[in-house]
Amino acid sequence: MPVLCCWSLLAAAQHSIEVKAPSVFNMAEGNFKVEFRINSLQVEQLSLASSPDFEVYSGPVKSVYSSTVSINGKRTSEEATIVTYILAPNKVGKLKLATFTAVVGGKKLQSPTTEINVMKDNGSQPSAGTSGAVPSASQGVSVKATASRKKVYEQQGVFLKYKYYAVPQVQLVGAGVQQKPDFKGVMSQDVPLKGIFVDIERINNQPVVTGTVMQMMVFPQQTGKVVIPGVTFNFDVEQRRISEDPFDAFFNGALSTVSSINRTSNDVELEVMPLPQPQPALFSGAVGQFTVKG
């Protein structure tokens, strides 16, 4: 079923909050993503009011975005803080999202009214998605490295992406590289991320929260089998649980604990072929397809 998204905007002085959420949602899909975008990096006191209509599946996950573009001598900059939640509706009907608030420069911003039309389950089944390993509740988070290609020529660029996969009960608070091993036989260049943008993937028919934590280009400098060893990441995670004491659960709600864990990605193996011979006289070492714009 196609999902339509609605954007709502509310401004306070020069700062604003945008809300991105589906305008129509089918209960069969289970849960959906909501993004609150504030056009500032100096954001404090993030809060989403409680609502009987929606259950918070995951969140808040905070990421930052910053970009500067110069065209014909004209320079423009854009920056934003994006706060992501995964929500699940508790009933059908036209439901209003709970109010999201944030403080920017001492001023309190409030999200605009955003309505979602939750449709009754029509018996359709959500897509099972891809197949693969899903992190267990005890693991909480796992990291997977993927390569844009596995069979390449010497010095041909390969794009590597490192994504985390987390069970919904785990809230990612922070992420960073803990240990980056020496990459023997390749040259590497980090590709900066504009932010960790959260999404939901279905793996083996289970919803999993995902996001890219690192990406880079590598250029093999030798032929044969080249192994790029796994990178170790450090994650600060908040894990929620419901107290077994019914009185404690009623008055205090879900309990949470924050811990720091390390996770290492899988190795990436490349098959590197030698360059065709003879090489052109003016060959400079660059391999691949390139586009030059003036």
Tokens representing residue 191 in the block: 């590709």
In what helix (H) or strand (E) does residue 252 lie, and over which residues does it extend? helix 246-252
- Tell me the sheet residues that pair with 11: 16
Q: Would you write out the chain's pLDDT as a tens digit for each of its 294 residues?
A: 445 555 454 443 488 899 999 999 988 888 888 999 998 888 888 889 989 999 887 778 777 777 666 677 777 777 888 888 888 899 999 999 999 999 998 899 999 989 999 998 765 555 544 555 556 555 678 999 999 999 999 989 999 999 999 887 777 777 888 888 888 889 999 988 876 777 778 777 777 888 899 999 999 999 999 999 999 999 887 765 545 555 444 444 455 667 888 999 999 999 999 988 877 666 666 666 656 565
**Measured distance CA(250)–CA(158) in Å, rounded:** 53
Q: What is the CATH number of domain 141-273?
A: 2.60.40
Give yes or no on whether 5-119 and 141-273 have one common fold: yes
The confidence score (pLDDT) of residue 177 equals 87
Write the burial class of residue 86 (CB in 10 Å: 0-12 exposed, 13-18 middle, 19+ buried): buried
Which among 60, 59, 119, 66 is positioned nearest to 89, based on CA atoms?
119
The overall pTM is greater than 0.85: no
Contacts of 126 (CB under 8 A, 6+ apart): 28, 29, 30, 202, 205
Length of the chain: 294
Q: Which CATH architecture has domain 5-119?
A: Sandwich (2.60)
User: How far is it, in rounded angstroms, from Cα 256 to Cα 148?
Assistant: 38
Listed by start position, the domains of the chain span 5-119, 141-273
* 112 exposure class (CB count in 10 Å sphere: 0-12, 13-18, 19+): middle
**Residues sharing a CB contact under 8 Å with residue 237, sequence separation 6 or more, in sequence order:** 140, 141, 166, 170, 171, 172, 173, 258, 259, 260, 261
**Distance in angstroms (rounded) separating the CA atoms of residues 270 and 281:** 28
